[in-house]
Structure 1
Amino acid sequence: MNITVTDPTGGKIENATVELYNSLEERNFGRNVIISKQTDANGFVSITGNELPEKHQQLEKINGVYYLNIFRQNLRKRVETKFVDFRDNKKVEQIVQLENANTKTITVKVAVVYENPVLLPQNKRFHELFITPGYSFKWNNPIELSRNYEKALEEASGYTVDYQIVKEIDADRLFTFLKNDPQKKLLSVEDVAEYLKEDNWNTFKTSGTSYDYNAMVQHYGFDKMRDNGEIHEVWVWTFPYGGMWESHMMGKDAFWINSPPNENPPCTELLSIMGLNYERDLACALESYGHRFESTMMQVYGWWDYDNKTDLSQLSTWEKYSAYGLIYEKFEKGKAQVGNVHFPPNGEQDYDFGNTTYVISYVDQWLNYPYLRGTDARKINREEWGAPEGSYHLGWMKYYLFHIPHYKGINPNDGKLNNWWHYVVDYNSAIKKQTID
């Protein structure tokens, strides 16, 4: 049986995995694969009767129709073979054209608030005037940072998420207050400017800050916009000590996304609010999104519980994805999966993104999700994700998010969507789709 595998344009696909199954059910669940091979540079693979496990039986018993599962990252196809008659030694030629398995693009409408006011008489904005005590680097222009953030998230999702900025607000009102103020009086632009002028930001550091989310949402009308479907989420670019959580959710049945859910939400629909600091760089903004992702997937699969599990089969799919080497060691010695926001596969401590030590990781299999076969492990270290703009932190954030599944369908082994991004950008819609599909 000779199989040639092509992409949607007819080009030959090298290193596509070709799996052969006896039954439709076994193929759908990825169980009892008869044989698995990879295509050569010409997209070609050949399977003979002598290679099949039943080769010790009479040929009549292995003649018939088989079920193929063929995949190479986002290109996939499930087909039946033609009738194979090994007895007559007849060659069966079959061309299989793979299809794009990326899920349909989800449009996410975003309102963006820039808390970066102009100060007079300098006629300059916060990011142009202030320097972090003890450092000399300049703060980022939040408008440019927001554009890069949008682009990076869309790329990481395989363009299955289309963030559309539908409203931008140049804020002249702030919603930060000092934690030790019993009145919770909102700070003015002038108040914040005075505190940022302090040599060591002593007021902010000793008093601490918090943020009035409900006042902000109601002031700009985001609660009504969310309930009317005009927006799906909000990004606020604020100054250091702005008092915001990295991510926060409000609405009916809101849950933890790296912060407690809002206890008295002004809106009904779920509204996620990103609190992003333009003193910091793109890597930190993506890290905030990564923590939002982690929290959401824990809502879907449950929290990580590695300490109370002893066998690989006990791990949820999300626990497998997040298992870096130090965690995964107890389940499969010397191996790693992908990792989490703070720990790459070879990480030995928080933020160990520049670690040069090699580890054997199953990262590649997650690009073939949900086909987790446990066979595609290879040695990787920091050179795998690289250091764009001189930052291994940025390299890891992009790499980590890109490996998160964003494909069509439902994983038959756990009943969850193959597109995990859907849960993050529209949780209720994802749960509904998971139930219907």
Structure 2
Amino acid sequence: YGGLSYGNVASQSNSQQSSNPKEAALQGLAKMKALMDMGFQQGVLAPQERPDVAALRRLGFAGSDAQVIQQAAKEAMPLLVASCSASSMWVANAATVSPSADTADGRVHFTAANLNCKYHRSIEHPTTSRVLGAMFADQQHFAHHAALPAVAQFGDEGAANHTRFCRTYGEAGVEFFVFGRSAFDTRFPAPQKYPARQTLEASQAVARLHGLREEGVVYAQQNPSVIDQGVFHNDVIAVGNGEVLFYHEDAFLDTDRMLAELSSKLAKVGGKFQSVCVPRSAVTVDDAVRSYLFNSQLLSRPDGSMLLIVPEECRGNERVWQYLQSLTGSGGVIGEVKVFDLKQSMQNGGGPACLRLRVALNETELAAVNPGVIMTAPLYDSLTQWVERHYRDRMTENDLADPQLLLECRAALDELTQILKLGAVYPFQIN
């Protein structure tokens, strides 16, 4: 673990510990398989080439690929570590997606996140855009936008700060953008310790690109004090789905106004907004950050109630687990909690919500998706076998200096593009 993400408590606290990439991938796939078996449709977003030798070349390292890696290891190990980051596994940061029911042209819109707050993440979006383009290629149904300008004023972290509320997924809804600071308006407060990664201006730009109606958008500011406690994205302190927002008491500024606006705008498109507030007296912000209670998946069940997918760390936190037991026993909208072991993901700084990106599609649009990426039982078996063949079960910082790692990665990705029918999305420079 590189501990690269300043402001992410889990990421930083595990810095320099050895990781198990094979276990990480298998845990994520096992969660996908379990959700598939429950009836939830899922797609697979392919990983990226690491180390990113092209990024190292842009920073002045030269020679063959092996020489670039060895030179970086000798002269600038932190840059090599950053170029090897597996952070693209956080699918919730890949992009912001607006369904066709919300957009002016009636297409599903994708904007890859620039992730420019952290260097190791800022190198992701070119490949992310190509992979999303290969998954959702039909221009009749899908529109793809380049990442926003890679400057601090337009810091964009994707769906980790975006939620959509609706009565049913196929109907018009209300898109909820959460920002940490404003780049140009000093009336908005900002955190003092950790950076606010998402700006208001970035969220507004994405809404414009996607052709969203003003009456179908709500902007809210995350509480700067919780950012300074390690809540680096909104999905660490709140999660929404359907007509429900599940959030911590300290998550937002001007919470009452925000809830009223969400309720009013959702009502205009036939929805009935519901909020579930977790009081600080029951679960502290520190509890939420360490357990990733809110970095959960909130899923709609056929009976209208909600299923909450949480990591094992929630069961290990006495206050959080006690709260969850009282929540599901109260007869409220969240009727069930399922726990998954995602330890490798958690130690890298992300939980269940990080491992998903919501893409709401109607049946026609779903039929237009590249069928190779839709999770099925045979695909699950193929990907599990692929991971067993190609992934290492232990990774330390010293391993990153081995040029063989790049060759292993390229061989794996060559095979994966065949499995997922992606075509040429990896611009390998082999020498």
Q: Normalising by the residue count of structure 2, what TM-score does the alignment of the two structures yield? A: 0.29
Which structure has more relative contact order (CA 8 Å, sep 6+)? It is: 2
TM-score (norm 1): 0.28
From the two aligned structures, give the one with the greater strand fraction: 1
- Greater helix content: 2
| Larger Rg belongs to | 1
